Amino acid sequence: MACEIKEKERPGCINPIFTCQPAGAQFASIGIKECIGIVHGGQGCVMFVRLVFSQHFKESFEIASSSVHEDGAVFGACGRVEEAVDVLLMRYPDVKVVPIISTCSTEVIGDDIDGVVTKLNAGLLKEKYPGREVHLIPIHTPSFVGSMVSGYDVAVKDFVSHFATRTEPNGKLNLLTGWVNPGDVTELKHLVSAMGIDATVLFEIESFDAPLMPHGNHVAHGTTTMDDLRGTANAMGTIALNPYEGGRAAKYLQQEFDIPTIIGPTPIGIRNTDTFLKNLKTLTGKPIPESLVRERGIALDAITDLTHMFFADKRVAIYGNPDLVIGLAEFCLDLEMKPTLLLLGDDNPNYKTDPRVKALQENVDHDMEIVTNADFWELEDRIKNKGLELDLILGHSKGRFISIDYNIPMFRVGFPTYDRAGMHRHPVVGYAGATWLAEQMANTLFTDMEYKKNKEWVLNMW
């Protein structure tokens, strides 16, 4: 039995699991109030990313583009940034934060977005918008390296480092959620509130469900303020839930302002949520209340009802964002399942030294593959040509055709999920998330067995 981590051996990519770095930076930007990002590249760098966001959240978002065309690719396109900033500020008088997000094309041609920001701060902003608070923030996210995960991590650090300002201690806790859903934010805020902790949630997306109101419709947007970002330098501590999605910013605050910091683990499942609450207690001194102990007990009861009877020895493949994939794998092991294949869609060299991966390698008692820089062919090839047998697939909607073609049940989790309704409203973190995940995974298996007309004994009932 072995848990092996290796990189995809083939050159090229067949149906990628992740999209590119600018997508991650755009996702971070829509979590900030009074912020609209300008993506410096072709229109498709905004259009397709915005489409995926809208498909996942069923909401509309405001993201701008410098709309670089052929002439810009040849002669340079910095002028497009200057024009884009001017148009954006004229059209949206309330916008105060404007990240300039680079793409593969503008990084290749060498556009100096840092220099453009310096020029605009000294020229356009002083001359045309005097007295207006505007923050132009260059964010370098070339698409030919990394992924949307690293792009999010880069952007979060750039936002925090731009605003963080040491003044007086504010008694708050910085909570860097990572790439999560609104339902996750609601659950996380519930947990910290139950412990009596005043937390600054970065980047705040709980309010992404934009209501339809009698006086007009709303555009979905986050609510993290500039003051929230400034205050990160004055917090009592920082917890980053996901090492690859906010870990860089947490380390910056620790190094620059000597703020006590804990990074991970992602609170998926009972044991990781236990660790999260212990970390909260360590940083704040607040006790874990009896109400959360009771919630834990309810979750344990729900999971116990399912684990040995329905989940034991079920073979699972998991793909998606690395922190989510590793957290789900740990949860599946606790459910007596056998995660046999983990697919991570970029080539981050830190995966091999990740202590969570090391723990899997040391403790897993069945064969498991962890493939980095993976694409969906890595999953399909193993099923089609290498005899991989699976009982369940966990991942986002992009992998649905493999589930359909090979008649393997699949539970949608992660980003983007667009072929199921309302998934973003449900948490996968915390005790409530553990309960919901276990029950939905069980329901997915039950439904599959109904379609396949299997008898009850297949569910390990006898």
Give me the DSSP letters along 249-299.
HHHHHHHHH---EEE-----SHHHHHHHHHHHHHHH-PPPPHHHHHHHHHH
* CATH architecture of the domain covering 21-163: 3-Layer(aba) Sandwich (3.40)
Average pLDDT over residues 247-256: 97
pLDDT at 215 over 90: no
Structure tokens at 246: 């906010």
pLDDT tens digit sequence for 387-424: 999 999 999 999 999 999 999 999 999 999 999 999 99
181 in helix, strand or coil? coil
The pLDDT-based confidence of 221 (bands split at 50, 70, 90) is confident
Mean pLDDT of 275-298: 97
Reported as a single tens digit per residue, the pLDDT across 109-127 is: 888 999 999 999 999 999 9
> Domain 3-14+297-459 carries which CATH code?
3.40.50.1980
Provide mean pLDDT across the span 320-335: 96
Q: What pLDDT sits at residue 315?
A: 97
CATH 3.40.50.2300, applies to 173-210+217-289: no
Q: Would you place residue 462 in the very low, low, confident or very high pLDDT band (cuts 50, 70, 90)?
A: very low
Taking Cα atoms as reference points, which of 17, 346, 340 lies closest to residue 151?
346
Q: Which of 101, 84, 195, 115 is nearest to 156 (CA)?
A: 101
**Vertex 133, ends 98 and 139: CA angle to 5°?**
25
Mean pLDDT over the full length of the chain: 92
Average pLDDT of the residues in 280-308? 95
pLDDT, residue 76, reads: 62
Helices 290-304, 182-194: crossing angle, 10 deg rounding: 130
As a whole-number percent, the residues of the chain with pLDDT over 90 amount to: 77
* pLDDT tens readout for residues 173-203: 999 999 999 999 999 999 999 999 999 999 8
Mean pLDDT along residues 233-260: 97
Q: Who has greater pLDDT, 89 or 454?
A: 89
Task: Evaluate if residue 458 carries a pLDDT over 80.
Answer: no
In the chain, where the domains are located: 3-14+297-459, 21-163, 173-210+217-289
> Is residue 99 within 8 Å of residue 159, measured between CB atoms?
yes
**Is pLDDT at 8 greater than 80 in this prediction?**
yes
pLDDT value of residue 12: 87
What's the pLDDT tens digit per position in 116-156? Answer: 999 999 999 999 999 899 999 999 999 888 999 999 999 99
**Beta-bridge mates of residue 213:** 216
Supply the pLDDT for residue 216: 72
Instruction: Check if 3-14+297-459 and 173-210+217-289 are the same fold.
Output: yes
The secondary structure of residue 309, as a DSSP letter, is I
